[in-house]
Structure 1
Amino acid sequence: MNCVKIRPCELKGSIKVPSSKSLGHRAIICASLSEKESIIENVNYSKDIKATCSGMSKLGALIIEVDNSTLKIKRQKVVNNEKVFVDCNESGSTVRFLIPISLIEKKNAVFTGQGKLAYRPLDSYFNIFDEKEIKYSHPEGKVLPLEIDGKLSAGIFKLPGNISSQFISGLMFSLPFLDGDSVINITNDLESVGYVDMTIDMLSRFGVKIENNDYKNFHIKGNQKCRGINYKVEGDFSQAAFWLTAGILNGDIKCEDLNSDSLQGDKAIVDILKKMGGRLDERNFTAKKSETHGIVIDASQCPDLVPILSVIGALSLGTTKIINAARLRIKESDRLKAMTTELNKLGADIIELQDGLVINGKRELKGGEVESWNDHRIAMALAVAALKCEGSVTIRGSECVAKSYPQFWSDFKKLGGDIDEWSLGE
């Protein structure tokens, strides 16, 4: 286990935001489904992205690392009836995207994973497997290892919109390549719309069309093909959220490589911070130290922002309410409980609700020792909270940031962070 100790300080300067993990997954998958070569640039080799590369390689893609941020990718015509083993590590996107892809052609595949991923729900797929008579098995009380044997057939698919958009995206990556047309019907209001938009847009870039009928159903023609393209992955608003919040709390930070026209749902961080009173220039994504106030935040379309939003709420005047966030309980950790527990250790005043948080803001927290819950977004959010504490903050399990942002601690130092790192061993 690694630890970091952060002393209160100001962060100032410019930071090159890592490329979008969400778009990276999608670009790598689409390129892997094309028989023509694609070049994907500005790839951030986080653990999650590595898991998707490894998984798509097992499912028939040829992926070559050109340099430390560029991939050459194409589909190989492989005839192999052996059982395929796909290690998804701790990546929910990888397991939920790749399961349907493994069923485009009849295949016997075993999906494995680490940590909490083995318990994150896959019922939406299990229901489809039952309907389509696809054989599957998994241990009692866990969803991984999951063994699947069968082939997906075109047709009508029903999915809830309030569980995870990853199931919808997973089907979108597979249904266009089946014989026959398909429809995905959404049985209730769709949350995380931005992630579905990103999937449809990425597939379109690669020549695959999906008809969106007001997010209530999606019509998908079969027998489509991906074409090879050159694509540069844009900066990640999910990661920029930490630096923009840090700039507003105690600094002056410019985030580079962001796309002002991005479809990323977490671009919502810009509007949310501005509504709270943050001084944020949308032209160049510069955030400056500001007095902020509490507001009501609907997290249904941007659940990954909740950890850092709970930090800005804890350090804003008045009360911040985060609502429609129940899905945070089935992420890498129970993020509602994690942020309540750890920020309250630092002196915050947070009440945990079943589907959200009520945060009574303070001008400053006190500091102390906290746990990362082996969750990258919890660790990074707590690091930002440390900027506005009276004393130092020690974060245990700091190595978990490698899941999405391996260089986070070095970037923290580049901006002037006063930080010590050490290992406690296994």
Structure 2
Amino acid sequence: MADLKIYPSKLKGEVKIPPSKSMAHRAIICAALSDGLCIIENIDYSDDIIATIDAMNSLGAKIVKHKDYIEVIGAYGSDEKPQETRIIDCNESGSTLRFLVPISLLFKGSSKFIGRGNLGKRPLTTYYNIFERQGIEYSYEEGNLNLVINGELNPGTFEVEGNVSSQFITGLLFTLPLLKEDSKIIITTEMESKGYIDLTLRAMNDFGVEIINNNYREFIIKGNQKYNARNYRVEGDYSQAAFFLCADSLGNDVLCKDLDLNSLQGDKEVIDILERMNVVFNANDIGVKGTTNGELASTVIDGSQCPDIIPVLTSVAALTKGTTEIINAGRLRIKECDRLAAVTSELNKLGAKIIEKEDGLVVTGVEKLQGGVEVWSHKDHRIAMTLAIASTRCEEPIVIKDYECIAKSYPNFFEDFKALGGNVHEWNVGK
């Protein structure tokens, strides 16, 4: 694995934010469940997106990749038929896994889900309970992703917790309209990550499928619907923009381009949070730019609706006057790594003052970070990119171990970082 040495430098310039991974997953799935030819533009081939493309191909869609767009012939308009026994390789993509499990039950035969990293540790109990109730055959390995399912999903009423992962709800929302009869999803707890459900409902509506959302407490789903073939452009990704918006807030000078100011992405919350921390944003057709209005101010950050942007916001909090508290962020412990532990450990190595709590962090701001040490990505893309942004406020160079994990979501991150003036060198190759 390669390591990266980053010398402190100020980032300056414009960056085109890559397309939204969340919306790309959803657009690919809707197109692949359609009855005809779709063109999906503005595609970035991260590992997670490739996993979803390959998965939908295995279910009978026909997807052809081009430089920055894909052609999709939907499974309901394709001559391709799913194999009776198929392997769906999710790599490390939790979205691919949880979206595709119920979708795979639309097609006859058995599906074997495999993956890597911590994916086998992501809880799937929500689906296992449905399998038990409906008599769907399944087997799995504890701690490893080796899930085999065989059967058909029946319409009905589905009770789902809203505070485990919205991905289960999205998977069911994608699937249930294609069943012959009506269904209902009842949310049994407070709903977290509502923004992700909004993205799902918008994408489905764009492809002609309608869902009634009763204040996130229940979803009424008419059966016998279909996804209409159409062309679609994926909007820019706020979860990736967050790194450069935070960099800008830390005294760099970065204009973020290709962001939809009317986006429903939950991670657009990064702008509201940074505004509470005393950043003033100028947003127009050219891009989004922030200016710090005096010193950065501490705040309370609720991680329940936007968990993916918490690591990089922690790097801002680490350099903010006062004490910032991050709350309701326990789900970060079951991501690609335990992100609460990882961001605490690695930023503290740089000179931050962070205390880890069960479901959050307490961050006491310092004037500067020291650096001069080796830090580890924990093989988590968001930790690697957070450390790179933090390096711009270090006094000395840092070395990031296992930086290639950025391929999971933002393969060109370090090319963009260097284009903005980041001083980056591959340091050494280990085992």
**What is the TM-score when the length of structure 2 is the normalising length?**
0.97
Partner of 1:61 in structure 2? 61
Partner of 1:299 in structure 2? 303
1:101 maps to a residue whose letter is I
Deviations 1:133-156 (A, max 9, x none): 1010012x2251100010000000
3-state SS of the aligned residue for 2:208? coil
Match of 1:349 among 345, 349, 353: 353
Partner of 2:402 in structure 1? 397
Partner of 2:177 in structure 1? 176
Partner of 1:89 in structure 2? 91
CA contact (8 A) 2:62 2:80 kept: no
d(CA) in 2 for partners of 1:132, 1:147: 16
CA contact (8 A) 1:9 1:250 kept: no
d(CA) in 1 for partners of 2:283, 2:51: 33
Partner of 2:107 in structure 1? 105
Partner of 1:382 in structure 2? 387
Matches within 5 A, 1:190-209: 190-209=191-210
2:48 maps to a residue whose letter is D
d(CA) in 2 for partners of 1:114, 1:62: 25
Deviations 1:264-313 (A, max 9, x none): 00001011111101232133311245631210011111010110011001
Gaps of 5+ in 2: none
Once the two structures are TM-superposed, the CA of residue 81 in structure 1 deviates from its matched residue by 5.3
3-state SS of the aligned residue for 1:239? helix
d(CA) in 1 for partners of 2:81, 2:24: 27
Partner of 1:20 in structure 2? 20
CA contact (8 A) 1:251 1:288 kept: no
Once the two structures are TM-superposed, the CA of residue 80 in structure 1 deviates from its matched residue by 5.1
3-state SS of the aligned residue for 1:4? strand
2:105 maps to a residue whose letter is L
Partner of 1:250 in structure 2? 251
Distance 1:80 1:252, change over 3 A: closer
Match of 1:334 among 338, 347, 365: 338
d(CA) in 1 for partners of 2:71, 2:83: 26
CA contact (8 A) 2:178 2:226 kept: yes
Give the alignment's Cα RMSD to 1 decimal: 1.1
Gaps of 5+ in 1: none
Matches within 5 A, 1:316-327: 316-327=320-331
d(CA) in 2 for partners of 1:299, 1:86: 31
Matches within 5 A, 1:73-222: 73-75=72-74, 76-79=78-81, 82-139=84-141, 141-142=142-143, 144-222=145-223
CA contact (8 A) 2:157 2:185 kept: yes
Deviations 1:181-211 (A, max 9, x none): 0000000110000000000010000000010
Once the two structures are TM-superposed, the CA of residue 58 in structure 1 deviates from its matched residue by 0.3
d(CA) in 2 for partners of 1:149, 1:270: 44
3-state SS of the aligned residue for 1:402? helix
CA contact (8 A) 2:84 2:108 kept: no
CA contact (8 A) 2:30 2:227 kept: yes
Once the two structures are TM-superposed, the CA of residue 238 in structure 1 deviates from its matched residue by 0.3
Distance 1:81 1:403, change over 3 A: closer
Distance 1:385 1:106, change over 3 A: same
d(CA) in 2 for partners of 1:10, 1:274: 22
d(CA) in 1 for partners of 2:428, 2:154: 50
d(CA) in 1 for partners of 2:154, 2:84: 21
3-state SS of the aligned residue for 2:396? coil
d(CA) in 2 for partners of 1:415, 1:127: 49
CA contact (8 A) 1:5 1:392 kept: yes
Partner of 1:4 in structure 2? 4
Among the aligned pairs, what percent are the same residue?
Answer: 52
3-state SS of the aligned residue for 1:115? coil
Distance 1:80 1:372, change over 3 A: closer
Partner of 2:38 in structure 1? 38
2:132 maps to a residue whose letter is D
CA contact (8 A) 1:270 1:282 kept: no
1:312 maps to a residue whose letter is V
1:390 maps to a residue whose letter is E
d(CA) in 1 for partners of 2:175, 2:283: 37
**What is the TM-score when the length of structure 1 is the normalising length?**
0.98
1:219 maps to a residue whose letter is I
d(CA) in 2 for partners of 1:41, 1:343: 37
2:182 maps to a residue whose letter is D
Distance 1:8 1:81, change over 3 A: closer
Deviations 1:84-110 (A, max 9, x none): 100000000000001110001332000
1:113 maps to a residue whose letter is G
